[in-house]
Amino acid sequence: MGLADGVVQSRWLARRAAAWIAGQRAAHRPLARPLDKDTMASLEPYFDSRTLAPVWVREVPRIDPPWALAMIDRVRELPLDFDYLWGITFVDTIVVATDSVSEEEQIPNVFHECVHVAQYTRLGLVGFMHRYLEEWVASGYSYWAIELERHAFELQQRFSAGAAPFSVEAEVVSHLEASL
Ligand SMILES: [Zn+2]
């Protein structure tokens, strides 16, 4: 698929995806809880309190992937390797799959999703989805080509490696500006 096709498709997808995400947020939010004390204490050195305050988490055993299929029903093949679905962020509401994440990976997993919360805050819902899907579609549906994911993983790895506190929000802003 050429880049132009990808751009056209990603605009169409972004509108549908944004509506879908708003619906998912509304469905999961009543069943979610604020971050627990341990998670909050681990994340606070890296995030602005304004990012973390609205974040609620819903735990489920596993995450089924109907979203991507519903979103891209014109595409015949599975676009993602769904083993990757250990967490998904709907604006300020994170759904985590407890069965696919070990105990020690749970806080780094929430860290990763909170990077997406900071990205959503910066880009807005439609802006986030547009960027996310543009790169995904243009690359021929490669999860690892999505810069928003690559950056979330990079920061997650720094956190997991015990890096000195840094500002995720500042990193997100400078990364997004550099990749414009
Ligand atoms: Zn991610």
Q: What is the pLDDT of residue 67?
A: 55
DSSP letter for 98, please.
G
Average pLDDT, integer, range 6-32: 83
Pick the closest to residue 122 from 180, 166, 39, 163 (CA basis). 180
| Choice between 46 and 105, residue whose per-residue pLDDT is larger | 46
pLDDT of residue 10 exceeding 50, the answer is yes
Cα of 56 vs centre of ligand 1, distance in Å, is: 16
Cα of 84 vs centre of ligand 1, distance in Å, is: 9
Q: What is the pLDDT of residue 78?
A: 44
**Helix (H/G/I), strand (E/B), else coil: 88:** strand
Cα of 18 vs centre of ligand 1, distance in Å, is: 16
CA distance 84 to 171: 24
DSSP letter for 165, please.
P
Q: What is the pLDDT of residue 126?
A: 87
CA distance 53 to 111: 14
Average pLDDT, integer, range 145-172: 95
How many contiguous H segments (helices) and E segments (strands) does the chain have?
8, 4
Cα of 116 vs centre of ligand 1, distance in Å, is: 7
**Helix (H/G/I), strand (E/B), else coil: 89:** strand
Q: Which range, 7-11, 19-23, 75-79, has the best average confidence (pLDDT)?
A: 19-23
Find the range with the poorest average confidence among 18-32, 48-62, 69-83.
Answer: 69-83
CA distance 144 to 94: 21
Cα of 115 vs centre of ligand 1, distance in Å, is: 8
Cα of 145 vs centre of ligand 1, distance in Å, is: 12
Tell me how crowded residue 66 is: count the other CB atoms within 10 A of its CB.
9
* Single-letter code of the amino acid located at 135: E
CA distance 108 to 159: 7
Q: What is the pLDDT of residue 69?
A: 52
pLDDT of residue 81 exceeding 50, the answer is no
Cα of 76 vs centre of ligand 1, distance in Å, is: 23
Q: What is the pLDDT of residue 51?
A: 97
Residues listed for the chain: 180
pLDDT of residue 5 exceeding 90, the answer is no
- Would you say 27 and 88 are in contact if contact means Cβ atoms under 8 Å apart? no
Q: Specify the residue for token string 């974040």.
A: 55
Cα of 49 vs centre of ligand 1, distance in Å, is: 20
Cα of 7 vs centre of ligand 1, distance in Å, is: 21
- This prediction has a pTM of 0.85
Cα of 151 vs centre of ligand 1, distance in Å, is: 9
